[in-house]
A and B are shown apart, each in its own frame.
Chain A
């Protein structure tokens, strides 16, 4: 177990570093990877003193103040969303659950949009206002979705997705309404509906990081509990798991991660769906592997998506949510199809 964890983690961390260097290096001015690596290493205490700067200040400016904050923000947002997706899937025992399909992202974006509409985003508790309000509207949405989807104490896949879609379109309409009503803040609200990492400086990265670190610690340490959920809630309880408490903690942490991401980067769909699934296909169902690897590879996935979003059309940037939807929606359809086939197969088996 620990050997496999070390192997997979090592491999995906190498992938993460390579992705980071490539994404920082690509743009209107391209920079060689070695130079970026040396600029970054130079900033690290002790190690830095062995490197003599031989690059232009312009390069350093681009790396440290323009590209790196954005790439790192992509890394953190991607990690948070994938982590949230893994937790939702584990607790709800539902492979199609993710912050976007559950409507949690849309819920959080309504909170954010209302604050921006009234110009309240820094009232009450300063920089925490936006994430806090987004969290509350997000968790409220999750609660409504789960109540709508519940049938005799179970949450069937189809009704979960249906209620997620219902909430998504309703809340999407609320955000669109606010966008239409608002005069001066149109662009800023519109931004939440599509997702973007542009024009976000270091401060945003700094706001998000604590959420990711704490979320990762809580969800990872609960990995064994998520495994027990796979046995079904009743059997998990018989095995000594405090089912209701675990569920509450996991759903709250996953929603908080989503809300924090949404309040900074807007609604970015399907990350939490695609990434944990890919990991599951490679490593199997064990959450002790899925959780840490989702965090790493979620970051990798979103960094690449953002690279595509900002480079594919030259100078014109396309919203990040569109890129992830282009990848994620077909993947979602494929999963739905496979789910359907598996159920048909099970029913045949039952009839025999």
Chain B
């Protein structure tokens, strides 16, 4: 069953089309990576799916209903977003931030409509190794810890779909891997559908089932990492020369960059 359906999506800024006739669908529990050069419309695509930016043509269907037909709270119970910069530098304690994820479940008196909220939050804190940080203000935490708090907040939203916007940009490799593992585990246990804008092609290849390549606002290709992470495609999209090899553990493609002036595409193919 498809969780997200995007059909003929077009978004204009002035006369420029930042997104042009995009079609794809994501089935429940799938992990879709969105890759492409800077300015290709990746973040805008996420903003239209999350409903904070309107669209000019086409439609976006989330779990059988158009995204604009949802109320804000209703949509937040269905779909959560984790931004690149995660949680801003504010003095709220970690536990309060994670509880903010419960906002869409509160009625007008501020009571949580589900009974096991306390347990949900406790489990998330434990799972993300945040127990000892519960009362620490987030502005005193390291980047990696803060991004775990951001993940905790979206987990508390108990969504069916998770949108990630370059979530590992500001993290060192240890925290990058830790973060992606946490997302992957969560996705497996709860069958969460994930759409992630990724910069790091190797990380994308390790975790994504399929990739969507955006170029100048159009969907250049959709396919598995094996199909798309080839020197030819990478050159076409990013204009860099690369060599691709299989990962020794899983066999998924891993990209190595080549030095020097970047010559034409034909030379890149012979590895």
Which A residues have a C-beta under 8 Å from some C-beta of B?
221, 224, 227-228, 230-232, 234-235, 237-242, 284-286, 346
Apart from A232-B88, A238-B81, A242-B71, list 13 A-B contacts with CB within 8 A.
A227-B92, A227-B96, A230-B92, A231-B87, A231-B88, A237-B51, A237-B72, A238-B76, A239-B157, A240-B104, A284-B91, A284-B137, A286-B92
Contact check, B83 vs A230: say whether CB atoms are below 8 A apart: no
Instruction: Supply 25 A–B pairs (Cβ within 8 Å), ascending by A.
Output: A221-B108, A224-B103, A227-B96, A228-B103, A230-B88, A230-B90, A230-B92, A234-B52, A235-B83, A237-B51, A238-B50, A238-B80, A239-B103, A240-B72, A240-B75, A240-B77, A240-B103, A240-B157, A241-B103, A242-B71, A284-B92, A284-B93, A285-B90, A285-B91, A346-B89
Known A-B contacts A231-B87, A231-B88, A285-B92; the reply to A237 vs B52 at CB < 8 A is: yes
Query: Once the chains are docked, how many angstroms separate the CA of A51 from the CA of B217?
Result: 81
Q: Can you list the 9 inter-chain pairs with the closest CB atoms, starting with the nearest?
A: A240-B76, A240-B104, A240-B73, A238-B81, A285-B91, A242-B72, A230-B90, A240-B103, A237-B52
Beta-carbon nearest neighbor of B137 in chain A: A284
Q: Number of B interface residues at 8 Å Cβ cutoff, please give it.
A: 31
**Chain B residue nearest in CB terms to A288:** B110
Contacts of A230 in B (CB 8 A): 88, 90, 92
Residue in A227, A228, A231, A238 with the greatest tally of chain B CB atoms within 10 Å:
A238
CB distance from B110 to the nearest CB of A (A): 6
CB distance from A11 to the nearest CB of B (A): 21
Whether B106 is near chain A, meaning CB under 8 Å from some CB there, is yes
B101 contacts A by Cβ under 8 Å: yes
Q: Which residues of B contact A227 (CB under 8 A)?
A: 92, 96, 100
Residues of A within 8 A of B75 (CB): 240
Most chain-B Cβ atoms within 10 A of its Cβ — which of A221, A230, A235? A235
> 0/1 per residue, B49-89, Cβ < 8 Å to A?
01110000000000000000001110111001101000111
Q: Whole-angstrom distance from the CB of B140 to the nearest CB of chain A?
A: 13
A138 to chain B, nearest CB (A): 28
Chain A residue with minimal CB distance to B97? A231
Shortest distance between the CB of A35 and any CB in chain B (Å): 43
Minimum CB–CB distance from A95 to chain B (whole Å) comes to 11
- Could you tell me the distance between the alpha carbons of A285 and B87 in the complex, rounded to whole angstroms? 15
Residues of A within 8 Å of B106, CB to CB, are 224
> By the criterion CB–CB under 8 Å, are A239 and B91 in contact?
no
**Minimum CB–CB distance for B139 against chain A, Å:** 10
Give the residue among B52, B90, B92, B100 with the most A Cβ atoms within 10 A: B100
